Structure 1
Amino acid sequence: MAIDDHLATRPSEEELRRLLAGKVPEPSFAHLARMSDDTGLFEHARGPIPKRWHGYCVDDVTRGLIVVCREPDPSAQLLRLAEIYLAFLLHAQDRERGFHNRMGLDRVWHDEPETGEWWGRGVWALGTAANRGPTPWIRAVALERFADGAELRAGLGPQSRLNHAMAYAALGAAEVAASHPGHPAALSVLADAAETIGRPGSDPEWPWPEPRLEYGDPALPEALIAAGQYLGDDSLLRDGLGLLDWLLTLSTRDGHLSPTPAGGWSLGDPRPAFHQQPIEAAAYADACARAYAATNDAKWLTGVRMAINWFLGDNDSKIPMFDESTGGGFDGLGQDWRNPNQGAESTIALISTLQYARWLEGIPAAG
């Protein structure tokens, strides 16, 4: 049987109910380790087997560093992965121009350093490692290089429209602000991100600051919420919460998460829409968890649970989006099928979201 045919098989209704009613699985790092070597993290896979010839990218290495640093009691293997990923980012970073993004299997960079979205993710990962890194030396080096990355934000002002890049950087800045209150570069990045993202529009049907929903959009209201928190600006906090509430409502269908597809979405386009990607569910989990932390409003816990359940099969196609045998996440959800490949981005999105199941267990039932 071909791998595509095998993985497209739909579970029975009984199997799906059992999966959703059971205990959420612990995040597994087995596939993340399979996708990694002593240089970095391979980007793509055929099924669970790494496609080494596609090489590495900063986008995914940053995501890997973030989820490893979020683990409360990392194993020796995860400590090693954290050091590998951080070393890769240090090699990718150019203090004057930003970050490289793509490296070949030959360990040669295939691009020039720039300040694209991977710059924002690089700053996010460095900020996370500076706050939550598993060793003092990881935290110290990451804090130093966060400051270097943050200084390059001047080229990403409001006219550049790189709102996702600034949003990701703001999430790293929030990590630094949490562990180093008043950190000047962190607060400056948060302020710049809020200006770049902009205010909600006046049309209640479409308050989104862009004409079309895109990839990873929950990061934008999350960045506004973070900016409101650490800058002490209640209006920014309200803006972020309002946009996230609108986005989550739009992406809820029959009680489950129905996120923006890979090609984007705007008013008049059909829903549900496909090809849905795991990174969207992970972004909702992140944003809703931050909204709960900022407000203590239990309604945001519903968003986190929907993101978790999306992977377990409570989605538009009723197909689980993780592989229990490998620990990998599938690359995308179609109508009545799933992409059989288990790439780095999808696997890390799975790990990140399952980490919140553990977080939910620690919240009192009264919420």
Structure 2
Amino acid sequence: MKIAFLGNYPPKACGIGTFTNSLARAVLSNLRATEIQEYAEVIAMEEPQDDHAYPEEVKRKIRPQVVQDYRDTAAYLNRERFDLLVLQHEYGIFGGDDGAYVLHLLDDLRIPLIVTFHTVLREPSFGQRNVLSRIAERAQEVVVMTQMARNLLRDVFTVDEEKINVIEHGVPVIESEDRITLRERLGWEDHRVLFTFGLLGRGKGIETSIRALPAIVKEFPNTLYVVLGKTHPHVVRDNGEEYREYLLDLANELGVGDNVRMISKFASEQELFDCLRAADIYVVPYPNEAQITSGTLAYAVGAGAAIVSTPFWHAQELLQEGRGRLFPFHDHQALGKVILELFRDNEALEDLRQRAAAYGHSLLWPRIGRQYLRVFGKAKVAYKTYGRRLAAEAELPALNLDHLLRLTDDCGILQHAKYATPNRAEGYCLDDNGRALLLTGMLLQRGLGNRKQLQRLSDTYLSYIYHAQAPDGTFRNFMGYDRRWLEDRGSEDSYGRALWGVGYCLAHPPRSDQRLLLEEIFVRGINHLDRVKSPRTLAYGILALTYFLDYKPTDEAMLNLLDRSCNRLLDHYRDSRREGWEWFEGYLTYCNGIIPLALFRTLRHISKEEILTVAKRTTRFLAGQTVLNGMLCPVGCDMPYVHQQERPHFDQQPIDVMCKVLLFSEACRHEGLQPYGGYLNLAFGWFTGHNEMKATMYNPETGGCFDGLMQRGVNHNQGAESLLAYLISRVEMENFFSERSLWAHPGDPEDPERALKVLLNGFAMPEMAGREVHRTDKSADT
């Protein structure tokens, strides 16, 4: 068994760090192992300025704002064949808007994923919803700690209910001295003690407790309010100890300064439990209801404390059935009244402690660890069946680059062929060399084909593009076979396609030394994007920019250009849409899918609800126009398909199909597999015979692709555009399947029980090895 845990980790003073360590130890307690590093590795999120002395199990660190760290970690987990990754998710611990940088890791991950969501919001921002939904879509199983969190994932974030597991927050197994001895040791024997602990910040509401003290102290002068915890590191960084000083000043102003003791310390679990068991009442004065999980509250229940809390979400569930008392938010008078009632009634106090302690027994970490192990088994099975289901829907022909080599000479790739023989009379064009560079980058990124051969090809295509670019950044397109340019400036689309290939290879260079030239070409050329008029050219430029920003995510100038370009594309949509016509122009023609694809991919760098909304609407519209009778029927290129006029069926072009393959693949990342996974398979199926004429467009004998589907039948010429369209689609399909498939081997388990037994091979305790493994209940195992 080889598990990876990703999150914050001690000695970082952080609740997520404590949880990650506790979970790793909880799983360990159910295994035949003595140290975490025997079965797992921990990947810690670490700010560059920090220098924590991590324990031995921490093998890697990720700098939150460094995109490459996420990608490198995914490559490491894949290469070292980890069984699964267990991710602790909290928006604030990852880089990017709303923690979006973690998606760079998950998009490249090739092993099962389990995610524990520590924050689930009822009214998330667009960016928060987008990030969490994409994480949940990638995960095989997700864990939340309350029923309300489960409902929010289902209703607000549309997460598949079958993959949601409710496992409550664990509490440590800690023995303490008897309560009288603890109070004597802490110096509390002569006091009525109120207690609060946790990292300090404005969101803790401790001022409400202090405002309640005067009324309490008036009747019980020996009351002592103990607040244990360091100020949150982010608060210290931004505001120093301003909040702590404010609380002390408030207590003095109210005349209860001697009744408040603030201890700035990140206490051990033993110290926390001793304080919780010694205190008379544990007070949780959080000012907002939108807290779905509270580790401090779980600890208090586990320690058997008498709890008085505001009714935030976790408290409403955990303190039901008499396990605590609730008071309204910000209401110090109500808090004081509840505490006075309890101080006057020792039997009621003792009843609260006993009810909390009885329930807390079910929350002990070893029990929680056992529930997580069952989820591990479920995730292994879900990942395998998920991949098999997808793979069964589309069979990919073997990769064959013969025709690519046939069409490429020392100048570039030739435009056309007579059947499968290169047609030199037609010369070369920038469009095809841009697409060919994109293809070589994709092949090398996926580890497909002969690396040295593909690198040589990439040099050829890059050389053509460099030669085609004028000093002002514009491009020429057509060149005769005699190496003479046939024009001074090429089309807008050829400009956009060249930049697309260059941008992709900047993010994924065929060879690292090519980046200098790629960036030079890109920077010179992209400056013309503000002047292009075609929405397709804008889309190509947007795609190029998204890959450039994958390479340099902090480049503000490029990010601003991306934002402007998307706004212009949205303007095209606003100007052209009509009732029943959700599109960027008043007609459909070639390469249609490239436009919504550009919007979807922009969401990797810019979170705007309108971008996602328009991408979804136009993708649904395009699918509705072209997925007919269970097959892909691209709009024919004999003439444009003008709104409210007859739809042309032929000439159907491979390049238009390629754009839909790329579009539906990207749409799955944002909208899930239904229905876009099916549309993706239908789109690729067009090449292999699932089209209106039942004609196989890909020729496995030559490695080429026929140039179009005409009304009279197949155009049997096999030029560069159609070849590149097929090969790019073929690589994208393999990439899509590999992102969602397990490297399955004959004999792998088919159900969670067998999967867990295989996973625990060599690590299972006797009682775990013989235990029947059931599907995790939607409620916590008690």
Question: Partner of 2:691 in structure 1?
Answer: 315
Give, in whole Å, the separation in 2 of the partners of 1:133 and 1:26: 24
Question: Partner of 1:171 in structure 2?
Answer: 543
1:112-123 matched pairs, under 5 angstroms: 112-114=488-490, 116-123=492-499
CA contact (8 A) 1:147 1:185 kept: no
Give, in whole Å, the separation in 1 of the partners of 2:689 and 2:557: 41
Q: 1:179-237: CA deviations, max 9, x gaps?
A: 22132353234223323322355534112121111211111111122233312212112
Give, in whole Å, the separation in 1 of the partners of 2:606 and 2:491: 24
1:181-260 matched pairs, under 5 angstroms: 181-197=553-569, 198=571, 199-200=573-574, 203-260=578-635
Q: Which moved more, 1:267-276 or 1:126-135?
A: 267-276
CA contact (8 A) 1:47 1:342 kept: yes
Amino acid in structure 2 at the alignment position of 1:206: W
Question: Is residue 35 from structure 1 mapped to residue 407 from structure 2 by the alignment?
Answer: yes
Other structure's SS at 1:52 match: strand
Give, in whole Å, the separation in 1 of the partners of 2:656 and 2:568: 21
State the 1:336 CA deviation: 5.2
Question: Partner of 1:358 in structure 2?
Answer: 734
State the 1:350 CA deviation: 0.7
Q: Are residues 47 and 115 of structure 1, via their aligned partners in 2, closer, same or farther at CA, if it must alter by over 3 Å?
A: closer
CA contact (8 A) 1:312 1:322 kept: yes
Amino acid in structure 1 at the alignment position of 2:511: T
Q: Are residues 97 and 65 of structure 1, via their aligned partners in 2, closer, same or farther at CA, if it must alter by over 3 Å?
A: closer
Which structure has the greater CA radius of gyration?
2
Question: Partner of 2:94 in structure 1?
Answer: none
Q: 1:148-188: CA deviations, max 9, x gaps?
A: 111122322xxx3x111111111111111122213235323
1:88-107 matched pairs, under 5 angstroms: 88-107=464-483
State the 1:356 CA deviation: 2.4
Question: Partner of 1:108 in structure 2?
Answer: 484
State the 1:365 CA deviation: 6.8
Give, in whole Å, the separation in 2 of the partners of 1:115 and 1:22: 36
Identity of aligned residues (%): 27
Q: 1:243-279: CA deviations, max 9, x gaps?
A: 1111012101111100111122134444561110000
Residue 433 of structure 2: which of 53, 61, 64 is its match? 61
Other structure's SS at 1:94 match: coil
Q: Which moved more, 1:321-330 or 1:229-238?
A: 229-238
Give, in whole Å, the separation in 1 of the partners of 2:577 and 2:416: 41
Give, in whole Å, the separation in 1 of the partners of 2:648 and 2:484: 41
State the 1:79 CA deviation: 1.1
Q: Are residues 254 and 365 of structure 1, via their aligned partners in 2, closer, same or farther at CA, if it must alter by over 3 Å?
A: farther
State the 1:293 CA deviation: 2.5
CA contact (8 A) 1:317 1:334 kept: no
Q: Are residues 163 and 170 of structure 1, via their aligned partners in 2, closer, same or farther at CA, if it must alter by over 3 Å?
A: same
Question: Partner of 2:352 in structure 1?
Answer: none
Give, in whole Å, the separation in 1 of the partners of 2:582 and 2:607: 23
Residue 150 of structure 1: which of 526, 531, 548 is its match? 526
Question: Partner of 1:3 in structure 2?
Answer: none
Question: Is residue 129 from structure 1 mapped to residue 490 from structure 2 by the alignment?
Answer: no
Q: Which moved more, 1:144-153 or 1:59-68?
A: 144-153
In structure 2, stretches of 5+ residues that fail to align are 1-391, 743-782
Question: Is residue 276 from structure 1 mapped to residue 652 from structure 2 by the alignment?
Answer: yes
Give, in whole Å, the separation in 2 of the partners of 1:206 and 1:365: 37
CA contact (8 A) 2:577 2:584 kept: no
Other structure's SS at 1:23 match: coil
Question: Partner of 1:10 in structure 2?
Answer: none
Residue 710 of structure 2: which of 321, 334, 348 is its match? 334
Amino acid in structure 1 at the alignment position of 2:628: R
Question: Partner of 1:17 in structure 2?
Answer: none
Q: 1:96-140: CA deviations, max 9, x gaps?
A: 151000111111111113561111111111101101122101233
Give, in whole Å, the separation in 2 of the partners of 1:189 and 1:55: 34
Question: Partner of 2:89 in structure 1?
Answer: none
Higher helix share: 1
CA contact (8 A) 2:577 2:583 kept: no
Give, in whole Å, the separation in 2 of the partners of 1:275 and 1:114: 24
CA contact (8 A) 2:535 2:584 kept: no
Q: Are residues 147 and 293 of structure 1, via their aligned partners in 2, closer, same or farther at CA, if it must alter by over 3 Å?
A: farther
Q: Are residues 95 and 296 of structure 1, via their aligned partners in 2, closer, same or farther at CA, if it must alter by over 3 Å?
A: farther
Give, in whole Å, the separation in 2 of the partners of 1:135 and 1:97: 23
Normalised TM-score (structure 1): 0.88
Amino acid in structure 1 at the alignment position of 2:562: L
CA contact (8 A) 1:225 1:238 kept: no
Q: CA RMSD in A?
A: 2.1
CA contact (8 A) 2:477 2:491 kept: no
CA contact (8 A) 1:97 1:113 kept: no
Q: 1:57-80: CA deviations, max 9, x gaps?
A: 001001111111001224222111
Give, in whole Å, the separation in 1 of the partners of 2:675 and 2:516: 37
Amino acid in structure 2 at the alignment position of 1:332: G
Question: Is residue 51 from structure 1 mapped to residue 411 from structure 2 by the alignment?
Answer: no
Question: Partner of 2:724 in structure 1?
Answer: 348
Q: Are residues 150 and 43 of structure 1, via their aligned partners in 2, closer, same or farther at CA, if it must alter by over 3 Å?
A: same
Give, in whole Å, the separation in 1 of the partners of 2:640 and 2:467: 33
Question: Partner of 2:667 in structure 1?
Answer: 291
Residue 462 of structure 2: which of 80, 86, 98 is its match? 86
State the 1:353 CA deviation: 1.0
Give, in whole Å, the separation in 2 of the partners of 1:256 and 1:182: 42
CA contact (8 A) 1:331 1:342 kept: yes
Number of residues of Structure 1 aligned to a counterpart in Structure 2: 343
